[in-house]
Structure 1
Amino acid sequence: MSERSVQTVRDLRRSSRSTLLRRLYFEGRTSRQQLGHATGLSAGSISNVIGELIADGVVEEAGSVDSAGGRPRILLQVNPGSGYLVGVDVGETQVRVGLFDLTLTELAARDQPLSDHGHDVDHVVRLILTGLAEVLAETGTDRASVLGVGVGVPGIVEQGDPAANGHGIVVHGPTVGWDGVPLGRLLRAGTDLPLYVDNGAKTLGQAEMWFGAGRGADHAVVALFGSGVGACVIANGVPFRGATSSAGEWGHTKVHVGGRLCRCGARGCLEAYVGAEALVERWGGAAAGSTSSADEKAGLAALLAAADHDPAAAELLRETADYLGAAIADLVNLFNPERIIIGGWAGLLLGPHLLPAIRESAAAHALRFPYAQTSIELGLLGPDAVTVGAATLPLARFLDSGGEAPQLT
């Protein structure tokens, strides 16, 4: 009975630490009194927990403000140097590894081209581990202060047993030729740092919801447009994953039965019409799969420039906006989001030019009432948002634990 009581006390303490740490993290500098009003915790609990967090180096005092008729109130903030985060984006043309402080200020980054190896698994693993070693060495960061390595990948991620410390993470990514790749085990052979892996669109979604265009919304869809297309569906403030974590494969919903061949092997997928690879192929007349992904950004830029004087380019962009609008209307009708956010490097390149036409098409295809409650916006975090989102994976664990440092395995 006493053991059960001790566990309950520990849970309550952890919950209080997490509540206060999250409030400080997302709201910024705050006084103890403001924390009490915001959380409902007693002054005694706040004093004890904040004292622990300061003693642990997670929280620090950050000046003071005058109070009405009393002593100045001490302001508190999360200590940016109390831990470090690594985010990895396994992208379409490169692997990007970024090192961040606890407030997600980037301290160092490595952009490593995939080159002729493509998404060969062993090559990707080498690039991740090499980039990790280089950003830590460049900044002189002690491995013991790294809270974890988050990795955003193309495909569906099986998390496996949480007690296996990442060994059971398996990735299914048909568009890059990954079929049941034991990515966790392969990375574990080269690092003992805490490891977190998720779909790149989901990491983008978490980043935009926490720090970007999704802030303040409880129901949203964050769409990633690059060579391919993905989405993160947010319901009641958390990502909707489905039974096997494959929810959000929006790029492989069908817009044309029996249509263009998609990278996944099926025909008529949205990705086969609006993904950057597909658009460059269609504009350049290349055979499916023959376009170099390294040329896609230049290809899209040329397509946009040509639209001013070339009717064929203008028509392709008009058709792209129509497909996107119709597909977004499906999201509106299915999920009733407050916001739909368009991100990813291709989405941010095309979005400013196509957004009015996308909105017009979505309005024409969606049910009127839910569409009237939805806004369609561009992401705010730039083309490297997947890297930032990947770094939020270990950050989320840190906040949930109330600031407890993970153990190296």
Structure 2
Amino acid sequence: MPRAAGCPMDPAPGLAELQAQAPLIRVRLWDGSTPWLVTRHAEQTALLTDRRVSADWMLPGYPFFNQYMRDHRQEGQFLTMMEGPEHIRLRRMVARPFTFRKVERLRPAIQQTVDDHIDALLAGPKPADFVAKFSLPVPSIVICRLLGVPYEDHDFFQRAITTVTNRELPDEVVGEFEGKLYRYLDQLIGRKLAAPDDDLLSQLATERLATGQLNRHDLVMLVLFLLISGHETTASMIALGTLALLQNPGQIAVLKEADEAGVIAAVEELLRYLTTVQPGRRRVAVADIEIAGQVIRAGEGLVLPDEISNRDDSVYPDAGTLDLRRDAHPHLAFGLGVHQCVGQPLARLELQVVFATLFHRIPTLALASDLEEVSFMNDGIGYGVNAMAVTW
């Protein structure tokens, strides 16, 4: 559903209207299927933690984003679309570097990356594209260093990832770039096996691939998942969060006065208020479920968009207002249950460093155009900003 003109931070009005009608509503997807749209916070929370609900896209009734994903699902699964022992096994392999304690050790390096890019922004011409100069490179550098992906290749993988997640492009174009990205990562794994380094990809290649705990294809898919989720969503949150604050200057003052706990709370509110994944989480029932006066039958699909659950007024009074002093827990920006985002400690840390630093370093930061001239990503799975001219 399209967002309203002039309201790029808000959910589509059509979604808000459906939320006002009922917590569960039948909707029609691109292929004629009619899954349940889950519109409210309580019901999404219950279903995301219900063992009778599966994320496995191999199951009949799974509500696919588009035909390409449905037709190519046999080629490999991401962690977010798996269930059972295999999901647990693979998740444990990648979870270790993303614990709070290990991520916190990255704070000085992330701070340095943020400061370096602010320095470069201030030293460059005005106006500048905030996305190209700051919000995209900062998380890209962080995830590349963590995984062991050469940052000099970032132009290629950013273009490839944008292409393979675009819902509007022809299948042959998506397939071409998917193949290029797959071959790039496969070759990189070969180099890590030959000359391992101190990074996650080297660790997975030498400890898991070389010992037979992972096959080459599964490792490529695992790294691809981490690469996509590790830079695109955070980059979108940095850009959208900055834009939301520029549209609410009173909240910038709150942020600048905040102590460490206040910055943490501010980031949680931004995560609640904004959404970087457009089509909603997709699930399928594996048994009958009674909820909110309805019966979801086994084999029926579920669509759970957090942009409306996080704007549920029954949980967050005046939910359409950005309030950095709000207690935004328990928002669903990172999901819930066994499929909670494995990289959320890293994403939170990056956002905390960015927003604790940006407006102190550039107190006069401002849009260099009208809001209507900002270019938004609205054709892919992720929602964000293509380009945003700023000045100071």
Query: Do the structures match in fold with TM over 0.5?
Result: no
Category of TM-score, reference length = shorter chain? under 0.3
Q: TM-score, normalised by structure 2?
A: 0.26
Larger proportion of helix? 2
The structure whose RCO (Cα within 8 Å, separation 6+) is larger is: 2
Larger proportion of strand? 1
